[in-house]
Amino acid sequence: MTKEHFPATPAIRVLKDEGADFTLRPYKYEERGGTEVAARELGVDENMAIKTLVMEDDQKRPFIILMHGDRDVSTKELARILGVKSVHPCDPGTAQKHTGYMVGGISPFGMRKKLPIYIEETLLGFQKILINAGRKGLLAEMATDHLLRILSPRPVKVAR
């Protein structure tokens, strides 16, 4: 980890407890800037800055999908894979209720509720990724293997 001090978020606590090797990467957060701003500020390819998206199916069952920063989720394809009529992103309040994190700082680690987690399968080809560490303007750089070991997400092919 870096020498700088950051307030411990639930995500950081989980990463430490699980023995993950990670580096915290702070950046100047811009409201609605998303992974584009994070990648620009950190000097990395937006493709490896992972979005943690909170979604619900047509029965209002929440789940997480981890996606490349520069890609969108094909909700039609994801609904087909999940065997439901439709899926859609949660509104910010609902996302916070499910995860305990504010939009812009949602991490798949240390969420309030245990939610099913899906990952775009093309992310599995990356050795390292950057993913939110539970606070706006703070990403964790880590080996993809550590993410897979801790979260056990289900791979899906839904990027567009």
Pair of tokens at residue 128: 């390292």
Q: Report the phi/psi class of residue 134: left, alpha or beta, with left for phi > 0 and alpha for psi in -120 to 50.
A: left
What digits encode the pLDDT tens for the residues 46-84?
999 999 999 999 999 999 999 999 999 999 999 999 999
Gyration radius from the chain CA atoms: 15
- Would you list the domain boundaries of the chain? 10-156
Q: What pTM does this model have?
A: 0.92
pLDDT at residue 5 greater than cutoff 90: no
- Give the three-state DSSP class for 82: helix
When the candidates are 3.40.50.300, 3.40.50.720, 3.40.50.800, 3.90.960.10, the CATH number that belongs to 10-156 is: 3.90.960.10
What digits encode the pLDDT tens for the residues 11-42?
999 999 999 999 999 999 998 888 999 999 99
